[in-house]
Amino acid sequence: MKTITERISRIFKIRSSIENPLRLRREFCEDEEFPQVLSLQQLERWSEEIPCYSENDPTNREWKETPIKELDLTKYGYGKVLLKDESVNPTGTIKDRAAWEITTIYRDWAKIIYEDYINGFLTKSEIQAIKIPSFSLITSGNEGRAVSEAFKRFYLPPPKLIIPSNTDEKIKESVKELRADHYVVDLSSQVLTTQDIKIITNNTDGIDLTSLRIFNPEKVFYDWHVFESFNLLPDNIFIPFGSGKLTACYFFWQRKLVADSMHRENIDPRLDEQIVARDKIRRINLYAAKPEAYPSIADKLHAPHRPFSIFTDNDCDAVSNLGFSGNKSGIYGISEEPIKKAYKILQQEGVQCEASSAASLALYMDSFDKGFVNSSERSLIINTGRGLCVDDN
């Protein structure tokens, strides 16, 4: 009979004997030195020093609420809007929230093993034979930076980052400085599988974060952020659409809250009591913004190299058509000029952002011009922040 530790460890020890069939040229490859197996000191540190917060208790929240700003855009020909500013996070983007959730996976893994040790199911020598799992992921910079910094804080294994070869050279140089293993690869020729990603990153015994679903990224990566937005009870929320994880989280919780209310189940305590009624939540329109064409100044929203999309137009249509979201909810393409205009306006208003995060405001302005939204409605713009940008270097 397997112990809990043995069963859990299987998640982190996905073995493979497949030879590398890709022959993809890596422009550079750098592996940080890090212990391959556990020590009791590491186990204690990760299980005890990585904080435990409540999953949904507002009095013990895992992430500090980011600020809401009011922008008066009447001088630009638009109405007043609210802006949720994620640029205040440690590395300047909303990706820090997801990086924290990934960090807690190590904490929970360490706690399970440590409990087995304390209870006498594992010896010190057995612990020292357990291989430490590493995470691989594809990133255009910001997610890799956020994960790297979070892992650095608790001396976790350096993440293994695949950077598309068409990434700007200055951003590549910035990524090289991170505490991470780096692999720059031309990803335009084929769609990668989970196994491909592991092989490229010398991580066949590890975990590919890009395709990982068992920890429900659409539910937990940005859940506190979503509740902070819903508690403002806006008519419309405008979101940049890149990998789709943030948009998926919004739709997941909108659908769940409406369903819970219908079945009179316990409503998540993070939702303010005054807006528990499902009609108020289900009528919120979620507008997801992506460039109409590429290349685009909103380069972080272009993700053809991501092989595991978790949210598509079909998902969006289903949630909206079934009455769980506003009838204007959807993924919308936005042309280059509105993105540039929105980026300039946000800069003039003192908002720390990049062109990709400005796409949300661009979609609002485009929708305003077309009469889909008006100044009497309460519109919330999501600024996902300012990370590694070409003009930062």
Q: What is the pLDDT of residue 393?
A: 40
% of the chain beyond a pLDDT of 70 = 83
* Three-state secondary structure call for residue 170: helix
Of 148-152, 214-218, 315-319, the range with the highest mean pLDDT is 148-152
310 pLDDT more than 70: no
Q: Do domains 4-52+96-208 and 63-94+222-392 have the same CATH topology?
A: yes
With a CB cutoff of 8 Å and minimum separation 6, the contacts of 59 are none
With a CB cutoff of 8 Å and minimum separation 6, the contacts of 38 are 113, 127, 128, 130, 131, 132
- Residue 65 structure tokens: 């609420």
Strand partners for 182: 30, 161
**Domain 4-52+96-208 grouped into CATH 3.40.50.10420:** no
334 pLDDT more than 80: yes
310 C-beta neighbours (distance < 10 Å), count: 17
- In CATH terms, 63-94+222-392 corresponds, of 3.40.50.1100, 1.10.10.10, 3.40.50.1700, 3.40.30.10, to 3.40.50.1100
Convert the pLDDT of each residue in 11-43 to its tens digit: 333 333 334 444 445 555 666 788 899 999 999
Task: Of 78-92, 216-230, 303-317, give the lowest mean pLDDT range.
Answer: 303-317
pTM of the model: 0.87
- Residue 279 structure tokens: 């009609």
Convert the pLDDT of each residue in 118-144 to its tens digit: 999 999 999 999 999 999 999 888 999
DSSP letter assigned to residue 289: E
Domain map of the chain by residue range? 4-52+96-208, 63-94+222-392
* Three-state secondary structure call for residue 49: helix
